[in-house]
Structure 1
């Protein structure tokens, strides 16, 4: 039986002095009421314009994206043409990850975890040990993976998701993202700037940063800027991004995190990714930036059409030096050329 969810999602920001309010905090809200179940779809992606929140390319040609109302899309030609796959759920899917063209996972609201072992021709539900919203899924092998979730929960599996175990839990905040560079070393980030690091595959997690409290003078909540995404490069190097133009990097395993000036001080950044050639890409609310010199300088590539009045929420490498990005109203952007990242085009649906 198809799981039904009624959900809302908004990406809006309001700046007021030093207080930056993002109405979503990239929260994909799962409400108690239900909507009508959709019929299975195997159609060209041309009529659907659901917001997309995540994209994964295990090879240069094969890619998947996911989003609102259980949307799962698949391409076999590098992103030129996309088709809908029947995910079996109407819950918003916040993250999708394929380790190879066969094995993939997607996670989302109400503890939703789905898995495919045939490239998405069929998706099957996997049991979650917690009912909370799952924000990010990441695998290092077809068997070993993790999920970052609400209430600072981290789930882990060593059997491809046949069983998921609660590996870590801390304060009642939302972990937005998780990333590993190998089977041992990884980071998770979330609300109020919280950063957790593991060097043993998640057996232990160490808090490296983050602050939450209340102002004695005003009685209001105070804390570090929210972090929305993290990309682990190697055991010593990782990047993280968040609201208020927050772009930070560690080159010593997280012993210290240094703020990098990307030139967009009030822009919320939702996603970060690196390609094998070392380029760093970050996307957010009306902004997209590229650095090819490890963050020393940043360029704003040309997007056709522009993303100034939209948002990019999902980002991934796409084989070699290329990237793919997804976001508002079903938008899918691909970088162009063999090595240049200065030109991007939107896939025509």
Structure 2
């Protein structure tokens, strides 16, 4: 049996934003990690997502989104209203703006002189020339998550209620003045609005849903937002986080539990697209129906023309005679408790003196259990390698019984990390 050897763990790396250059080959992904940010906060691909390399992050900040206009010029936004820019493919990133708002969640550039960012607490960011300006909208109780500009005058934003500000409704707003002033198009107290996409300034889509039930929502307009209608012919799918249309008819939406939806008729019908993910996919970007990238909790997916299917990127595959020769969970599925075990293989130089195992492998072993949204549930650490298993009773670190469902267990041995699904049943 082969075991995936992840030279750095995708869980808990929370890949939150991605971008693909018009050539379909160069692209970026950024993380919203809360772990130390010397890991994977900015990564870059030059072959459509089949391989990735880490880029230097000039400051310790969490990032929401990244966009680009070609293979050299890209921009990142994130926590604290930070906006970074590069004109050399990411070799260097420069601070263009900071401190405008609690975060900018989505960013778009039409060219090097005109850019737009959707922010928390009703804040809109606008770039004119070299300067980013902050615009306060009247919807200070709304956290804007999506932005789409058709040209330098006409644009839209969408967002959900801000819990810190006491918000109670989601909004779609529109500007015809480049963001200087905004008008309301839709207000809703049931659904969250999390991303927006426009084609040609006339055809638009908004995605989101109801987070309490995971219900997805897709709205569509064919008249620049004067009327928004719900698209209900959806095959499967859960609470949606991102939407992308490279043209008027071909579109994708992604969300919780590995959801990727596709349409070929402008959204009249949506169908689920198979992919390896089972956690939340936060962003999806395509340059045409055959080339694109999708990212989420512990997952990087790429789609290239020769494959025409979503592929998961992993750094390498090793045979099971490496440091770990076994990683088992039994029973799986389980009801009351299950045993999570590992064994050290030949590269760990395991030997036995009497009944005491001796090994040259010195790193502590941790088993970490996450739910499919990437939230940490339970962590076990083994310092004495004479012990090779732990028992999970289906409870979190606070002693609360977790719901039935699918979880991810990550074995961390320092340089080596493995992951495996674990299912709790009634």
TM-score by length of 1: 0.77
Structure 1 contact 210–224 (Cα < 8 Å) conserved: no
Distance 1:256 1:158 in 2: 30
Matches of 1:208 and 1:142, distance apart in 2: 29
Of 243-252 and 195-204, more deviation after overlay is shown by 195-204
- Tell me the equivalent position of 2:151: 182
Aligned length: 286
Aligned to 1:55: 18
Contact 2:81 2:102 in 1 (8 A): yes
Partner SS state of residue 200, structure 1: coil
2:247 aligned partner: 276
Query: What secondary structure sits across from 1:151 in the alignment?
Result: helix
Q: Deviations over 1:10-58 (max 9, x none)?
A: xxxxxxxxxxxxxxxxxxxxxxxxxxxxxxxxxxx95252110111011
Decide which structure has the larger Cα Rg and report it.
2
Aligned twin of 1:332:
300
**Which segments of 5 or more consecutive residues in structure 1 lack a partner in the other structure?**
1-44, 212-222
Structure 1 CA distance, aligned partners of 2:66 and 2:273?
A: 25
Contact 1:275/1:321, CA 8 A, preserved across alignment: no
Deviation digits for residues 138-157 of structure 1 (CA, Å, limit 9, x no counterpart) = 11111100111011110101
- 1:193 and 2:201 correspond: no
Conserved 8 A contact 1:246-1:265: no
**1:319: how far off?**
4.7
Of residues 118, 135, 138 in structure 2, which corresponds to 1:170?
138
Matches within 5 A, 1:337-348: 337=305, 343-348=309-314
CA RMSD across the alignment: 2.1
Evaluate the alpha carbon distance shift between residue 193 and residue 234 of structure 1 in structure 2; reply closer, same or farther with a 3 A threshold: farther
1:332 counterpart SS class? strand
Task: Give the Cα–Cα distance (whole angstroms) in 1 for the partners of residues 42 and 19 of structure 2.
Answer: 11
Stretches of structure 2 that go unaligned for 5 or more consecutive residues are: 1-5, 161-168, 210-214, 316-426
From 69, 92, 96, give the equivalent of 1:122: 92
Q: For 2:291 and 2:280, locate their aligned partners in 1 and report how far apart those are by CA, in whole Å.
A: 20
After superposition, give the CA deviation of every residue in 1:60-95 in whole Å (9 maximum; x if it has no partner).
111011112451110111111100101212221001
Q: 1:113 to 1:105 in 2, by over 3 A?
A: same
Asked if the contact 1:87/1:114 (under 8 Å) is kept, the reply is no
Partner secondary structure for residue 29 of structure 2: strand
The runs of at least 4 consecutive aligned structure 1 residues that moved more than 4 Å come to: none
